[in-house]
Structure 1
Amino acid sequence: MTRRLFRPEEDSGVVGVRSAAYGFVGNVIMEMVAGEGMGEANVARFKALTESALAASGAANRQDFLPFYGFSISAGSCSRRLAGIAKDRNDFGQGIVDGFRRRHRSSPPERRTVVGDLLRLQKSLPELYGDDVIRTVCLSLLQAGTDTSASTIEWAMALLLNNPDVLKKAKAEIDSIVGTSRLLQESDLAGLPYLRCIITETLRQYPPAPHLVLHEALQDCMIAGHDVSCGTMVLIDVYSMQRDPLVWEDLRSSCQRGSRVSKPTKGNG
């Protein structure tokens, strides 16, 4: 990924950070899942499937809030699109499982992978570890990890480029701890507190998902001064909470004084 960003293939010298990060993360996760990278064609295919599903379903199901919407023509059309996308996703996931079987039909894999472990369990417990379960696990890991990680990488790089003083301090820390003769390794992170703070601050300002997945109130309760009945769907606005001055002002002041900071309790629910 570093080489791709440093030496872009395009004549213009411009490279898309998001696409480079997406391909990088997708290959890392696929190595863990199936023992080999995705390849550019499969990265593009999975990215298209993910974007199509998000576009077809939206941030939330409108039928949950407007029940009559379920009887409309557009809702039926959306359901058909989602069914088609689901089939394509299942085909993609089954391809991962079948490809692993073909590669290791005559010889076992050299290292453990998610698919390899699940296929071993399938031999002893076929009723619990069918191909449908294995491909669902694979797709879940790819879906949850690829777009979120790529987005965070993109935001971190954008924030560093727009804050050159921070970038200069991060570079100085890496040069002093890691040196200039090798690339940074995961084991180096323990000695790079400033870099870890950059990552944490990126996640605070631009969380991968601005809202948590829908939760249901298990009992009558009060949230931010509002009565919420049992069974109500609650959407948590993480983006706003992490930018709320009531949460962060006291924390910021305490950090500047160098005093011990207690966990903030204020916020807007």
Structure 2
Amino acid sequence: MKRILVTGVNGQLGQELSGILPTIGEVIGVGRAELDLTQPEAIRQVINEVKPDVVVNSAAYTAVDKAESEPELANAINAIAPGIIAEECEKLAIPLIHVSTDYVFDGSKGSPYQDTDPTDPLNVYGKTKLAGEIAIQNSCQNYLILRTAWVYGVGGKGNFVKTMLRLGKDRPEIRVVADQIGSPTYTLDLANAITQLITLYQPEIAGIYSYTNSGIASWYDFAVAIFEEAKILGWDLQIQRVIPITTPEYPTPARRPAYSVLAGEKIAKVLGTFAPHWRQGLRKMLTELYAQ
């Protein structure tokens, strides 16, 4: 059985991975309490003690707006740490699967981004994640960088779906940005893809890939779908109306790409199938959340 080291084990993706990966190997999960990613020597020590057959780095500094005022911390976790993990993986001659983001792009292309398209992040979070990708490429040969987007799941502290449900409980209307377009991605579908990639991995498939759920939506479309699906399940919500607004009407510290849809053909060839549609993922997530 493979020994699989998973970082960020308490995050929403990390929790999904902890549930699925035991089907293919022995999982050693580390969260902030076990591994401080701002400490390079701690990273080296953990990897050398565990001696894994593969590392999945699902840890990240993901507070996009907060990163604007904490660039050094975001850089330590998103850029420096992945490079160190990659160096240790290279020494052990093992693969690294690293989760990255659609925010490495500026959103000006207007059609789905290929993995080979030029990057140009608009914010500190995107810049630090891109720096992490580059550090990995410079430090090891056996890597899969998996760019994803608009991630949500049952686990973790909070995400867009949970926020909408919380607000929808006691508000009759909510204003949601309608001019940012992407692909909502369910953590369980992403975790299943990562599990499959571990079993399939060969050095010849190393490189950068994109994995999101299929289909596209604005945040407004996503919010409308959340409430439609939640009401079908029987959620007690006060929400009557979702009002579409523009990005300038909802200013945030970090700029976000207007269009960050990622092309899924390359990863589909490796996995043998396209990702499920985002609405399907949403339905599954809400069904699980409602049952809790």
TM value normalised by structure 1: 0.23
TM-score, length-normalised on structure 2? 0.22
Structure with the bigger RCO (C-alpha within 8 Å, sep 6+) is 2
Higher helix share: 1
